Each structure stands twice: as structure tokens, then as C-alpha cells.
Amino acid sequence: MQGTGVPIVTPFDSSGRVDYARLRSLVDWLEEAGVDFLVPCGSSGEAPLLTADERVEIVDTVAEATSLSVLAGTGWEGYEPTLETTERAAAAGAEAALVVTPSYYGSDDAALAAYYRSLADESPIPIYLYSVPKFTDHALSPRTVASLATHENVAGIKDSSGSLESVQRLVRLTADESFAVLVGSGSIYAAGLDAGADGGVLALANVVPGRASGIYRRHEDGRSERARSRNADLVELNHAVTTQYGVPGLKAALSLRDQPAGSLRRPLEPLAGTARDELDSVLADALEATDSTNPDSST
């Protein structure tokens, strides 16, 4: 998994059921925009609100609809359901599994390292660690990650700490391994690439997939300054659809772009009128800025 990955949202209909037709439409739009891989059933996909069967069907739908690599979110709070979902996701077409750190009982890094090693031993597909302290209140330490990177079936990490220092340490401490460091925050994407990250899994890329993937393309082409400029134009939008408004903001922004994001699943609620208006303004500013400063911008 290299380049720009999208933790694709899960569209629901008005009754709260997964809308697979809308999901396929989103997959088509994202692939046409030039992203590099897709990540169903992540945080942006409302994974904690999905059943195990829904997760597998979503992975199957995405894998069938795309020619891109699929990194499936398979983590639960317990080992057995995580392994089972990983095995089922593999059978459904996922090429690798993104496994969030269990958090309910406050396990320390030693326990989490043992958990991931056992999972990697049994998993039929490579495991990507998922450190997202915003939701779990625990960040995997870079040294713990480095110890796991030596396992042949632990392929990388999505670091959603938002810390450039963390990305830099992860890159340095895993440099001797075949291990991908993926930036999980759109606000530091270009800086993370400059530090040696292999790509990113960005909620932002749901809303502006071409512009987000353009950051990676510019960096790879040796145009790092242009990459940083593009990223700077998108920081406020990234803040709005992650920290400020979360998944409701992400889906509202997609609907403002005329994309079939569908409804939210309870207990999440749609944005109120004022918040939606503010988001609309932030989105318009980001689109205008990237168009004016980057003539070759798209989607």
C-alpha cells in the first residue's frame, strides 16, 4: 500500500441499511480521480457501527467494484472476532487488513504487541497496524511498532496521531524493514512524505480525491514545494471534516460535492444548518485555492 489511500465512507439509506449501489458509485468516482488504494470499514466508514456481516459484504462490494488494492478495516476489541473478520475479508478480496488497537480495557504496548504478533501469525493476509489515539486514547509507541515491523506478516502502520515527530520516528526506526509508514492526517501529508512516509490514508481524500492524491504525485515527481503548497490549501478543509465535524462533516462535504454519501448511522447525526453552511464555505475556499495556485488540479 503506497500512495494515497481513501478510508471510504459507508453510505446508508434512510432506514439505516448499507446502500451498496451508492458505495459502488463512490468507488467509481474515487478510482477515476486517481487515488491509489481503497480502505473500506475504517473510522471514516463508521466501522464501529457495522456488523461483522456488513463489513464483509462492504469489502466484497469494494473489491469487486475496483481494480485498486483494498486494505480492509478488520479490527474489533477482541482477538477472535478480529481474526475471523480478517479471514473473511481476505476471502472477500482484501489484500491486507488494517487493525485498530483494542482500547476498551486500556491494554499497554506489551499486550498490544503480543496481540498483533499472534494475529500476524494466523492471518492469511498482511496486517497493517492502526494507531488512532483520537478514538482509542492510546498511541502505539514508535519503538513498539519497530519491534513489530520485523514480523514478516506485519506490513505497515497507519499513524493517525497527527504528529510529524511520530511519523519521523516511525520512518527512522523501521528503515531496515520492508514496512510502510502511512500518514493518517491530511494536514501533515506532504510533510510526512518529506520525512519518508510511503503514502497516506486520508479522510480528506473522500472529498477531494484528485487534489489529495496530487500531493503524493507532486512529491514523487520531485515537486515537493508544490506538494506542500497544495497541502496547505487543504488544511482547513481537512480540519473541518475530521477534528471539527468528524464523519457527519465528511458526509456533508461529499453531498456538497454531489457525491452519494448517504445517511449516517445512529447515534451519529447530520450537521445542523449553520455548521453545514460553514463547511460549505470552507470547502469552496479549498477548491478555489487549489484551482488558483495549482492550474493542473483536478477532482
Of the chain, the percentage scoring pLDDT greater than 90 comes to: 96
Mean pLDDT of 257-274: 95
Of the chain, the percentage scoring pLDDT greater than 70 comes to: 98
pLDDT > 70? residue 287: yes
Which one is catalytic: 116, 128, 130, 216? 130
pLDDT at 298: 63
Phi-psi region at 3: left, alpha or beta (left = phi > 0; alpha = psi -120 to 50): left
CATH numeric code, 3-293: 3.20.20.70
In sequence order, the β-bridge partners of residue 127 are 97, 154
pLDDT > 90? residue 197: yes
Q: Residue 158 catalytic?
A: yes
231 alpha carbon, distance to own chain's centre:
17
Annotated binding site for pyruvate: 201
Mean pLDDT of the chain: 96
Reported as a single tens digit per residue, the pLDDT across 109-144 is 999 999 999 999 999 999 999 999 999 999 999 999
What is 183-251 written as a DSSP string? E--GGGHHHHHHTT--EEE-THHHHSHHHHHHHHHHHHTT-HHHHHHHHHHHHHHHHIIIIITHHHHHH
Q: Residue 134 catalytic?
A: no
Mean pLDDT of 181-194: 98
Reported as a single tens digit per residue, the pLDDT across 45-98 is 999 999 999 999 999 999 999 999 999 999 999 999 999 999 999 999 999 999
Q: Residue 290's pLDDT band (boundaries 50, 70, 90)? A: confident
pLDDT at 294: 54
Annotated binding site: 201
pLDDT at 291: 80
- Phi/psi at 105 (5° precision): -100, 10
Mean pLDDT of 285-298: 74
Which one is catalytic: 116, 158, 216, 245? 158
pLDDT > 70? residue 292: no
pLDDT at 299: 78
Rounded to two decimals, what is the model's pTM? Answer: 0.96
pLDDT at 296: 52
pLDDT > 80? residue 196: yes
Reported as a single tens digit per residue, the pLDDT across 202-255 is 999 999 999 999 999 999 999 999 999 999 999 999 999 999 999 999 999 999
- Phi/psi at 157 (5° precision): -145, 140
In sequence order, the β-bridge partners of residue 72 are 97
